[in-house]
Amino acid sequence: MLRVDVQIFIIIILGTSDCQIIPRIEECGLACSQGIHCKSKPASESDIFNSFCRVAPTTSSATALKSMKLSTVMKCVKGSQCFLHLNVKGTLSLNENIRGLEICYLSLDTQQTSCMNVRFSRKKTQQPLGRKVQVQFNCFEVKAAQHIYVTMKTIPNYCEVKLSQEYYVEDCRNNDVGKHIPSCSAGKLDYSVDREKKVISVNISHFPGDQDYYVRLCHKWFICEDAGALARIKGKESLKSISLQYSKLLPCLCIEGWEAVPDARRIQLCPFKNDTKAIWDNIMYNSATQTLAWEPACPVEVIVSLCGLMKSNYQCVDLQNSSYTVPENHIRYSRVDSHPGLCMKFTTKQGSWIRCPFAHGKFPVWKMRISGTEEQIQVSFTSQTKAQLSVLVCNQMELSSCESFGTHYSVSLGGSDSTSINIPGEICSSKVCIQAWRTDVDYSVPLQICDIQCALSSRSRDEDENSLKFFIEGHMKAEVQHIS
């Protein structure tokens, strides 16, 4: 019950902060307690001596400053153009040594500072010495969400007689600030997409004044990084629209707009979060180093693995020890066989996608071919590059698994010449397979020929074309099929 009460209390506090109405002022200025005559002027270089402190002559001077409170007020011109001001209220004990106050504020965002001196007139002051007096100054103009540091010192500047406080100005989430402060009015963006021309048309509305307006495309990582040229729309133009060219529709592609004023609030639309197709295409292969890599074009939570496409059901079976969760930069596999059936699988919470970078035969590949009689089966291998193969006679199980008969062969390929091995013909059966894979790489897809029917004649039976065909067909189907 206590936890629920605390949660309700927090919600009330946060809700109150967002809905808090900022007090209005007609004019900014200085006010002191009744009977105290005071005036203000900006601190100048002639006041540099007040930056050096001196020892307070009396105990009353050392404890003169009592309190300082900070708040935000709003000044509106003609009920529309509004500005935020910092309201500083200080309480001090007046004595014969104190001639005034110095109030300074430092913007911790920009390191800009501004100081104001408040002087008391002894001749016109009717307040008895030693009494507490209040000083209020609200002419420091500030910005929404500004982080500032305020100090209050006596004049003269007595050592260790100082009050200081950090303060955060209300941001645009405050309803009153968001409604009346121009920098919080980021406008409204509407868009349409021409996928054929790769153009996004953006219309801008609901922003005040005749200020120019910036629009850009960006890729949202930790920050939104440029994804094209920055477009500027003139505020005086009646039709506020622009066309932006893009290269790919990605989940992190956003439209960002803001007024052409310093520190303007920005509005973002990221409408392509479901356009994940292009994000899986950034696959690169270096044939010299046999390195296969993928770099995400957007931040994405995905598990990447290598897999081999199956002839029978177009499933892509994961290769052992090839599964990785994407880090911030890229995934890289070394010593990869560039076989058409070797693919990359991308798995997210929404499903899985498969890309087969070698399916179109642009890279060196090895092939297996069989021909048989009742007496023996001849298995021939060719390769465009050097390769070491392991060959296994096995009994076909589920998916890609194959139970060995205990017969293994090693084959070395050195170029375009064909290499053959002979296997006894009694293995001919619809459930018996000949399986081969590369052993001189770290990642290889087993090539498997099953349903071996030995003929009485010596006619050869070329299986390698059929074997490659199912990989390519499977690849083409996987390209368009979303696997849930």
Q: Is residue 1 part of a domain?
A: no
Q: What is the pLDDT of residue 5?
A: 46
Q: Is residue 9 part of a domain?
A: no
Q: Are residues 151 and 88 in the same domain?
A: yes
The residue from 315, 331, 360 where one domain ends is 360
CB 242 within 8 A of CB 227: no
Which amino acid, one-letter code, is at 469? K
Q: Are residues 405 and 347 in the same domain?
A: no
Q: Is residue 471 part of a domain?
A: no
Beta strand segments in 130-287, E: 132-142, 147-155, 162-168, 188-194, 199-205, 213-220, 224-226, 231-233, 241-245, 253-259, 266-269, 283-286
Q: Is residue 209 part of a domain?
A: yes
Q: Are residues 26 and 162 in the same domain?
A: yes
Buried b (16+ CB within 10 A) or exposed e, 275-292: bbebbbebbebeeeebeb
| Cα–Cα distance, 14 to 70 (Å, whole number) | 19
Indicate the number of domains in the chain.
4
CB 397 within 8 A of CB 359: no
Q: Is residue 251 part of a domain?
A: yes
Q: Is residue 11 part of a domain?
A: no
Q: Are residues 33 and 129 in the same domain?
A: yes
Q: Is residue 48 part of a domain?
A: yes
For the four alpha carbons of 247, 249, 251 and 252, in that order, the dihedral sign comes to: positive
Q: Are residues 246 and 380 in the same domain?
A: no
The residue from 360, 377, 405 where one domain ends is 360
- For position 217, which CATH number holds? 2.60.40.10
Q: Is residue 483 part of a domain?
A: no
**pTM beyond 0.85:** no
Q: Are residues 355 and 370 in the same domain?
A: no
Q: Are residues 297 and 355 in the same domain?
A: yes
Q: Are residues 161 and 24 in the same domain?
A: yes
- The pLDDT tens digits along the chain (484 residues) read 444 444 434 433 444 456 689 999 999 999 998 888 899 999 875 565 567 888 888 877 778 899 999 999 999 987 567 899 999 999 998 888 888 899 999 999 889 999 999 998 866 555 566 778 899 999 999 988 899 999 999 988 898 899 999 999 998 888 888 888 877 777 788 999 999 999 999 988 876 667 788 999 999 988 888 988 899 988 777 678 899 999 989 989 999 998 887 777 788 999 998 888 888 988 999 988 999 999 888 888 889 999 988 765 668 889 989 998 876 568 999 999 988 889 999 998 888 899 999 988 778 788 888 887 767 888 888 888 888 999 988 887 765 677 887 778 889 887 667 888 888 777 777 678 888 899 999 999 888 887 777 653 333 333 433 444 433 343 333 343 333 3
Q: Are residues 190 and 172 in the same domain?
A: no
Cis status of the peptide bond prior to 156, with omega within 30 of 0: yes
- For position 314, which CATH number holds? 2.60.40
| Cα–Cα distance, 295 to 327 (Å, whole number) | 10
Closest CA to 146 of 186, 120, 184: 184
Q: Are residues 345 and 404 in the same domain?
A: no
CB 296 within 8 A of CB 326: yes
Domain residues for the domain of 452 are 366-465
CB 379 within 8 A of CB 391: yes
| Cα–Cα distance, 157 to 178 (Å, whole number) | 40
- C-alpha to C-alpha distances, 263 to 185, 186, 203, 258, nearest whole angstrom: 12, 11, 22, 9
- For position 130, which CATH number holds? 2.60.40.2160
Q: Are residues 286 and 225 in the same domain?
A: no
Closest CA to 257 of 177, 171, 187: 187
The residue from 249, 269, 289 where one domain ends is 269
Q: Are residues 350 and 454 in the same domain?
A: no
| Cα–Cα distance, 113 to 110 (Å, whole number) | 9
